A and B are shown apart, each in its own frame.
Chain A
Amino acid sequence: MKLCTRLISAATLAALASTPAFAAELTGTLKKIKDSGVIVLGNRDASIPFSYYDNNQKPIGYSVDLANKVVDAVKKELKMPNLQVKYNLVTSQTRIPLVQNGTVDLECGSTTNNVERQKQVAFSVGIFEIGTRLLTGKTSGVKDFADLKGKNVVTTAGTTSERLLKAMNADKQMGMNIISAKDHGESFLMLESGRAVAFMMDDALLYGEMAKAKSPANWVVTGKPQSFEIYGCMLRKDDAAFKKVVDDAIKATYKSGEVNKIYAKWFTSPVPPKGLNLNFPMSDVVKELIAKPTDKAAE
């Protein structure tokens, strides 16, 4: 498999060397986009405010805006002003296989860049960085993770928070009952209905859930972040040409400061569909990421 890919790239290189330089051969995703005239973006249905649907079932969000910057760059690169953009809904379970098998060309949502996933797919430079924290009732008395001993705590199945929480429970023998809900909405329902005293998740998503609550003032995000995670856009592995276009497009919005406008639009202003304001000012880790973009997983 590896050898095969190498042979092909060697052959491509040889072919490139023998053709006149101005007709650089396209390979991988860029070639696929050029040939089909379509770029397929993966979107999520409820990752507020990163990638979700507005009232007209159109994908919107912070990550979608950045993905559109990439689309603009691809149009320019391939000289295809009429490039068609198609969205393909993905879930946390389908996103990796759909990128790998060519259904989706680029997935910008709320996907953490980690070493396990790097075995399967490539990541763009980071587009956001979160800390994993707690959402709890203002009167619950929970201030930090140590207060969770012997309590019911909810988190969303399949997330890094679930792994951290389970590891913490085992390592520190905290005797927590951990509930793994199927999505963030259900996790918050567990919290709101009194089944759990706290909800551990990425801080940005917690602010999103809080904004949706019946009375946001009753809830608070608290606790020292247990980990930091960098979100990235996923693309196929070993596709340096496409990755360069993606990375350059994202870095350009960082350099021009345009990212600040996009950030303000989604995190500190009212967002559709209900006009909720997350009131989540840019954290130091996000500022750091924008100053020094990286495609590595967070430490």
Chain B
Amino acid sequence: MKRLFLAVTVVALAVTAVFALWITPPRADQGFDAVRLLYLHAPTAWIAYLAFGVTALASLLWLLPRTRGTTWDLLAGASAEVGVVFTGLTLVLGSLWGRPTWGTWWEWDARLTTTAILFFLYLGYLALRRTGTTADERGKRSAIAALIAFADVPVSYLSVTWWQTLHQQGTVFNERLSVKIDGSMAFTLVAAVVSFTLLYGYLVLERFELAQLEEGREARELERAIADRVQAEHVEVAPV
């Protein structure tokens, strides 16, 4: 099942790559081939937001007493990890794309800046998860931290927007957009978003299974430790 998932993901990514690199036209006003970064930049940004949305949802489910379970905590962690990687990629790709189009590596526009804040917020979240405490304690603290971070994002976005807006508004549906989307470009963009979403799903699945294995190993070690201790102390106190 997982192999099939992986195969479909790889095929989808390959199709996207072929379209993005050879079939779609270059653009003079976007530094010719640089426009192809769109097919990487837009989907990675989408995955970043999707991943943090999933983390927030899973955290909420952990906090509700009815649905509380380690599964949600591990899923929140797995998704946030993938999200941080994709946020980092988005920043790097955006920066690379900004150089030929805006003439600078970094613009202090609302979206780029908020994404940078997002990156650090969730780096903190991941650091919090790694502080080594009981599973329940980790679940509680990280779930609350995830929700606070999630609620902080729109406020940050608003404040940064007020502060400075240079970035193009919206991606595909804005009329003032300098990139005119033709047929093959629109298809490639959709294909890119779909294939990256598949990739996200696969990565989270892998990370989640790994986390479950880790938890399972700890549980087994714990059982063994208890058994050892009970046995050792029984022998010791037997004469009493």
A binds B: no
